[in-house]
Amino acid sequence: MQIEQGVTAAVVTGAASGLGRASAYALAGAGAKVAVFDINEEAGRAVADDIGGLFCKVNILDEDSVLDGFALARDAHGQERVLVHCAVAAKGGKTVGKDRETGGWKRLSTEDYAFAAMGVLVASYRMASISALGMVEHLEPLDDNERGVITLTASVAAQDAQVGQVAYGSCKAGVNGLVLPMARDLMDVGIRVNSIMPGIMATPPMLGVPPKVLEVLSNSVPFPKRLGKPEEFGSLVLELVRNGYFNGQNIRLDGAIRMPPR
Ligand SMILES: NC(=O)c1ccc[n+]([C@@H]2O[C@H](COP(=O)([O-])OP(=O)(O)OC[C@H]3O[C@@H](n4cnc5c(N)ncnc54)[C@H](O)[C@@H]3O)[C@@H](O)[C@H]2O)c1
């Protein structure tokens, strides 16, 4: 799909920071009208102001908040043809590990697992399905019978999660698992669905670790020996919009890294 300057509307979640922010800049740079969905109002507004987009305060864990966000974005920009879902909410922990406070054993609680399931997997389904319904109801197909493009964010942890990532990794694997059945469900209405699995990317959560650890992480990447740039993610997001033959695909963006157990 070609992005039509000032016509194509896009929704990007988690767009106040990191990979979502870079996706919002990439799409706006290509001429899209971008709605910045995030729970962080201050940072989200700053991004929206800078790219001439619209900020929508949205909590991906709350269906009503998401529906309100889509209504606001569609009022301002029209129905989105592009959804990029980057926001995430999850808690880490080992299946069974030592409790630092008591010295005894503890397990990752079912509640904490369920929180990751909601914040990673269910939220991805929520965003994608609400967006797809809007596309079907409100958009005419373009060339090639294409209505829209949905890009979800998984992680290399979907395939090689490390110790302590049982909830995050398995739910990101679920995000990858959503892609093909959803692409098939939407094949008759012209909506493509893909996921990107980033490796170690230079975003605030990663840049928050001590410099020594960052150096070790950079050196662990086969080539190039550095963290991925958010703009490299944004660039792939754009390519997934533009290249109409990408569909039903889970794509690693990782400098060939394969994560070790720890
Ligand atoms: N950075 C990496 O190395 C890396 C690697 C693999 C996968 N990922 C995935 O990429 C995506 C983006 O990660 P990032 O590194 O850019 O993170 P980030 O922390 O820089 O950005 C995440 C954004 O999501 C927003 N957010 C958090 N909870 C929310 C909620 N409930 N509702 C709405 N917005 C919410 C935050 O405010 C923030 O702006 C995530 O899905 C993450 O799992 C990142």
pLDDT digits (tens, 9 = 90+) for 32-43: 999 999 999 999
CA 108 to chain centroid, in Å, comes to 24
Q: How far does the centroid of ligand 1 lie from the alpha carbon of residue 154, in Å?
A: 11
Cα dihedral sign, 58-164-154-51: positive
pTM over 0.85: yes
Span 236-258, average pLDDT: 98
* Ligand 1 first shell, C-beta below 6 A: 14, 16-20, 38-40, 58-61, 86-89, 153, 155, 198, 200-201, 203-206
* Rg of the chain, C-alpha, whole Å: 18
Given this model, what pLDDT does residue 147 score?
A: 98
pLDDT digits (tens, 9 = 90+) for 46-102: 999 999 999 999 999 999 999 999 999 999 999 999 999 999 999 899 999 999 999
112-137 burial string, b = 16+ CB within 10 Å, else e?
bbebbbbbbbbbbebbbebbbebbbe
Domains of the chain: 9-253 (3.40.50.720)
Q: Is 125 a catalytic residue?
A: no
- With tokens 């630092």, the residue in question is 100
Q: Record the tokens describing residue 256, joined without a space.
A: 């060939």
Give the phi and the psi of residue 238 in degrees, each rounded to 5: -65, -45
Q: What is the DSSP letter of 163?
A: T
